Chains A and B, each alone.
Chain A
Amino acid sequence: MTPLDVQREAMLCSGHAACPGCIDALTARHVLATMGPDTMAVIPPSCMAVIAGPQPMSSLRIPVYQPTLESSAAAASGLRRALNATGRRDTQVLVLAGDGGTYDIGFQCLSSAAERNEDMLYVCLDNEGYMNTGAQKSSSTPHYARTGSTPAGKTSRKKNLVEIMAAHGVPYVATASASHLPDLVRKVEKAKAIRGMRFMSVLIPCLDGWGLPDDAGLKAARYAVECGAFPLVEVEDGTRWTLNVDTRTRPVAEYLSLQARYRGLADDEVAALQAEVDAAWDQLLARSRARGGAGAGEPR
């Protein structure tokens, strides 16, 4: 095995408050290390805020502003402009928000910040539900998944936020997964070099909320990519789509069977999910091929 070429300087310190085996912490570690010390973080209430730690401690080596749950992109806009106004244009503003704070309650101000093309990197740590409050559904929760507020399984599909953010025509939108770390780091590096609104959604399998063994977070993340349930994509300027991993190597059923939140799913429901994934995949593949992108964006 060859070691991965990633920044090793710890911007997320050991001793943080994440659950053992948490993919949120692993992801944040690499996002922060890649962004480097000239960065300010905006972290709304979420698992990441817990990981950041209580006063007077902080697990992050950079300043953190914790806004209200619904206001991350607006707060990051204010912070960005203040940095501009005080001669600190090179300092990066990085949002680390959960899917509740992004897809749901923070969506309005995110759309507005995207419309204004505010200069920030907004990373949604997407664990597909309100996991910090004990696993309730968000609009990112997938079809049929059981949560505290959907005990019989969610009756509607996951909101397609990548599509929505791309429709704003912002310079950069991407998905990533810690299971494909070189791809994730490359995307953060790429986003870091761009000015304007950059949005990334990173899949975070939640051990507790999804019903996974402590050592299965990365496996679930990898299966999600490999079955096409969470495709790795990039969208530049809202028009140029690239499907970074353009072959599927396992059925959706294998991904579902890892997780207790899909326990007891009927065969026709599994088939329905497979059909949803197939349709979305075909659309992505067509878009990616339309720009000659498929196959060209393999992870390093």
Chain B
Amino acid sequence: MDAVADAVADAVAARTLLLTGNEAVAWGARLARPQVCPVYPITPQTPVLEKLTEFQAQGVLDAEIITPESEHSVMSACIPASLAGARVFTATASQGLLLMHELLHYASGARVPIVMANVNRTVASPWAFWPDHTDSLAQRDTGWVQLYVESAQEALDSVLQAFRVAEQALLPVLVSLDAFYVSHAMEPVDVPSQTEVDAYLPPFAPPRRLDTASASSWGNVVSQDMFYRHRVALQEAMDGVPALLAQADGEWQRRFGRGWGVVERYRCEDADAVVVTMGSMCGTARVAVDALREAGEAVGLVKLRLFRPLPAAALRAALAGIRDVVVLDRNHSPGAGGILHQELRAALYGAPEAPRVHGLLAGVGGVNVPPQRIAAFARECRGTTPRPESVWVR
């Protein structure tokens, strides 16, 4: 190791810090030792950028930071940087993610293991800055692995797990955290030591890279057959992700004493109804489930941490034998409804004794959904026949 690397290792001993979700993301990124970080500021992601540039200015992050004129150029820079063999990290939110859309497809096509944090924020117009998953869920067909986290601690841990999964699958990974509820709320976060993280996440050593020694290229025009085979390989890589994430999370748990799973079942024992949701809403739903259990009602929570690829088998197993599933969608696909609602129904279709799926558009646009409302939704759904379309609630 060189002097800078030594300094980085010395600077990070395991400790507990009071961090926002954004700061936890930046700490996770720093511990991953990225070599290239193109970044562009956008509310509410900006503190991630500022923390990364601060780390670099302090000499504890040995990365090339690029500050282009747009998120589009950020992702444009990320892809060949990764192809050339550098570990690449960036972060964005909302409009920034949408501006990257074309390049998100390009990245997965190029099989580059970029890790990007996205702070979920409403999509304009009109302008707003509230938590809403429509920005990242609208990228579901771009070939990015998508994780949704509930807390600052999970954000830090997920960034590091994401690098491990990305570099094994050769796929880009998006780690999404809710605007403000997670991005700006402070909580005590266990920050692992650099030595421990180095043991968990070895240096990036891709099997192939853009190099003058081999003179291979990326992006040249291909035939129909080559394109087809490329997509088959992309699908196979995606299919392997749930197992890789389970492995990465299991290894994390062994080393650091906490894990987050792929699909988490919370108090689902003998439940007749289960709430399914993603991100910070899971924290609220836990409180609702605790209250319902306290009142003797058999209601549980299934937290979906991995949205892409959708872990359909794990979801079918987690929801087997449940009578009513209540999906809370903090997103909106106009003309279709809640995106998780559709995805979950598709995953459960044809399953033996498939649960009744109730789709609720709850918290769209950042509307507050307190635990009492979630408890009420669960009670109401148990007594009603599900409607085929998603239902607006608040």
The answer to whether A82 touches B35, judged by C-beta atoms less than 8 angstroms apart, is yes
The answer to whether A71 touches B84, judged by C-beta atoms less than 8 angstroms apart, is no
Bound CA–CA A82/B66 (angstroms): 11
With contact pairs A62-B215, A109-B70 given, residues A82 and B80 touching in the complex (Cβ less than 8 Å): yes
Q: Quick check: is B360 within 8 A (CB to CB) of the other chain?
A: no
* Residue of A whose beta carbon sits closest to that of B35: A85
Q: Which of B69, B76, B80, B102 has the most CB of A within 10 A?
A: B80
* Residue of B whose beta carbon sits closest to that of A64: B217
Q: Quick check: is B86 within 8 A (CB to CB) of the other chain?
A: yes
Proximity string of chain B (61-86) to chain A, C-beta cutoff 8 Å, 1 when within and 0 when not: 00110111110111011111111111
With contact pairs A54-B221, A77-B68, A109-B73 given, residues A82 and B86 touching in the complex (Cβ less than 8 Å): yes
The answer to whether A78 touches B215, judged by C-beta atoms less than 8 angstroms apart, is no
Bound CA–CA A79/B210 (angstroms): 9
Q: Which residues of A sit under 8 angstroms from B216, Cβ to Cβ?
A: 63
The answer to whether B78 touches A78, judged by C-beta atoms less than 8 angstroms apart, is yes
CB distance from B206 to the nearest CB of A (A): 11
Bound CA–CA A294/B18 (angstroms): 65
Q: Quick check: is B212 within 8 A (CB to CB) of the other chain?
A: yes
Q: Which residues of A sit under 8 angstroms from B69, Cβ to Cβ?
A: 108-109, 111-112, 115
Q: Which of B63, B84, B210, B221 has the most CB of A within 10 A?
A: B84
Q: Quick check: is A55 within 8 A (CB to CB) of the other chain?
A: yes
The contact of A67 among B214, B219, B226, by CB within 8 Å, is: B219
* Residue of B whose beta carbon sits closest to that of A77: B77
With contact pairs A40-B212, A74-B73, A86-B85 given, residues A65 and B80 touching in the complex (Cβ less than 8 Å): yes
Proximity string of chain A (35-59) to chain B, C-beta cutoff 8 Å, 1 when within and 0 when not: 0011110100000011011110110
Q: Interface size for chain B: under 10, 10 to 19, 20 to 34, or 35 or more residues?
A: 35 or more
The answer to whether A109 touches B76, judged by C-beta atoms less than 8 angstroms apart, is yes
Q: Quick check: is B25 within 8 A (CB to CB) of the other chain?
A: no
* Residue of B whose beta carbon sits closest to that of A67: B76
Bound CA–CA A84/B85 (angstroms): 11
Q: Quick check: is B211 within 8 A (CB to CB) of the other chain?
A: yes
* Residue of B whose beta carbon sits closest to that of A58: B217
* Residue of B whose beta carbon sits closest to that of A36: B212
Q: Which of B69, B72, B85 has the most CB of A within 10 A?
A: B69
With contact pairs A78-B79, A85-B35, A108-B69 given, residues A68 and B102 touching in the complex (Cβ less than 8 Å): yes
Q: Which residues of B sit under 8 angstroms from A291, Cβ to Cβ?
A: none
Q: Which residues of B sit under 8 angstroms from A81, Cβ to Cβ?
A: 36, 64, 66, 77, 81, 86
Bound CA–CA A113/B88 (angstroms): 19
The answer to whether A74 touches B72, judged by C-beta atoms less than 8 angstroms apart, is yes
A residues 74-133 touching B (CB-CB < 8 Å): 74-79, 81-86, 88, 91, 108-109, 111-113, 115-116
Interchain Cβ contacts under 8 Å between A and B, 29 examples:
A40-B84, A40-B212, A54-B223, A55-B222, A63-B215, A65-B80, A65-B210, A66-B218, A68-B102, A71-B72, A71-B103, A73-B73, A74-B68, A75-B76, A75-B77, A77-B66, A77-B73, A78-B81, A82-B80, A82-B83, A82-B86, A83-B84, A85-B64, A86-B84, A86-B85, A86-B86, A91-B212, A113-B68, A116-B66
Q: Which residues from chain A sit less than 8 Å from chain B, CB to CB?
A: 37-40, 42, 49-50, 52-55, 57-58, 60-68, 70-71, 73-79, 81-86, 88, 91, 108-109, 111-113, 115-116
10 smallest beta-carbon distances between A and B, as pairs:
A66-B219, A78-B77, A71-B76, A74-B73, A112-B69, A81-B64, A74-B76, A82-B86, A82-B84, A82-B81
Known: A54-B220, A74-B76, A82-B80. 13 other contacts (CB 8 A): A50-B221, A52-B220, A55-B223, A58-B220, A60-B217, A63-B217, A65-B217, A67-B219, A75-B79, A77-B38, A77-B73, A82-B85, A109-B73
